[in-house]
């Protein structure tokens, strides 16, 4: 006789509500705290992830560095569709992204940008597509979701804060805000499986700096060195500590 648990465990099409990430293929984010709450323990492959933040510079792009570096190492392409700023090659390379596997697409307007994004998602198999659409309809987003699904791609959309309350077919929606200790607070607005009620705090490069600064204000030059180490992830490539005045004279 077959027991219920055997049936539950052997039937691949059966989805169990309390089991996060059942059947979800994912790419680790590099943040254990975040991975623990994501289905499949990472960025969902073949699905759209929305990263919502009020302002840029909260660590929203940094969050993806590990996944994008892995994408390049596997010989897959990372496609940036109309980033609002100029990607700085030296920095991207410094964080392990392979420039020879990076494609930059510049279009004329929002419509073209979405079209290009969909084309990029449909193309080939694997890799990652990043886009910054301000406005996108539910139906259009669904098409992107299907395109990502068919090509097993990582798809990241950076979205403004006002869309957080809108319904979305994206598989994963995260909202970022500045957290304490110079870290980032990540609210998981939507994910497949059960959703954690509490936001997840993840450190940013200056989190250690913040702690040090609160503890020992006068060891500022030491802190500066930590900052460089933290940012670079490698003390040898750190910038030279400032010439004796970590806080410059202000006008």
By CB under 8 A, the residues from 66 to 105 that bind another protein are: 75-77, 79, 83, 85-95, 99-100, 102-105
Structure tokens at 85: 């700023």
Distance CA 153, CA 76 (A): 10
Distance CA 94, CA 164 (A): 32
Chain positions 101 to 140 lying near another protein, rule: CB under 8 A, are 102-108, 112, 115-116, 118-120, 122-127
CB of 122 to another protein, least distance (A): 6
CB of 42 to another protein, least distance (A): 20
What's 190-209 look like in SS3? ECCCCCCCCCEEECCCCHHH
164 binds another protein (CB under 8 A): no
Distance CA 200, CA 33 (A): 7
Chain positions 215 to 244 lying near another protein, rule: CB under 8 A, are 224, 227-228, 231-234, 237-240, 242-243
55 binds another protein (CB under 8 A): yes
Structure tokens at 94: 């410094």
CB of 4 to another protein, least distance (A): 33
Chain positions 13 to 42 lying near another protein, rule: CB under 8 A, are none
Helix (H) or strand (E) holding 188: strand 184-190
């Amino acid at each position: 006789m077959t027991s219920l648990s055997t049936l539950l465990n052997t039937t691949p099409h059966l989805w169990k509500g309390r089991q996060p990430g059942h059947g979800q293929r994912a790419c680790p984010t590099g943040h254990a705290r975040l991975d623990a709450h994501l289905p499949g323990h990472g960025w969902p492959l073949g699905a759209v992830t929305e990263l919502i933040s009020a302002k840029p510079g909260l660590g929203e792009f940094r969050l993806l560095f590990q996944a994008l570096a892995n994408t390049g190492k596997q010989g897959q392409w990372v496609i940036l569709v109309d980033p609002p700023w100029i990607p700085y090659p030296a920095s991207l390379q410094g964080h392990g992204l392979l420039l020879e596997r990076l494609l930059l697409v510049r279009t004329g307007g929002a419509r073209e940008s979405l079209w290009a994004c969909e084309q990029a998602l449909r193309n080939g198999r694997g890799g990652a597509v990043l886009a910054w659409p301000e406005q996108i309809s539910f139906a259009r987003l669904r098409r992107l979701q299907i395109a990502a699904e068919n090509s097993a791609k990582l798809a990241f959309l950076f979205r403004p804060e006002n869309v957080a309350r809108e319904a979305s077919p994206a598989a994963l929606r995260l909202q970022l805000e500045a957290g304490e200790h110079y870290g980032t607070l990540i609210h998981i607005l939507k994910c497949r499986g059960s959703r954690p009620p509490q936001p997840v705090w993840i450190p940013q490069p200056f989190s250690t700096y913040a702690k040090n600064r609160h503890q020992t204000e006068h060891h500022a030059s030491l802190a500066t060195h930590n900052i460089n180490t933290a940012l670079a992830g490698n003390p040898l490539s750190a910038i030279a500590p400032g010439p004796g005045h970590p806080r410059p004279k202000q006008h």
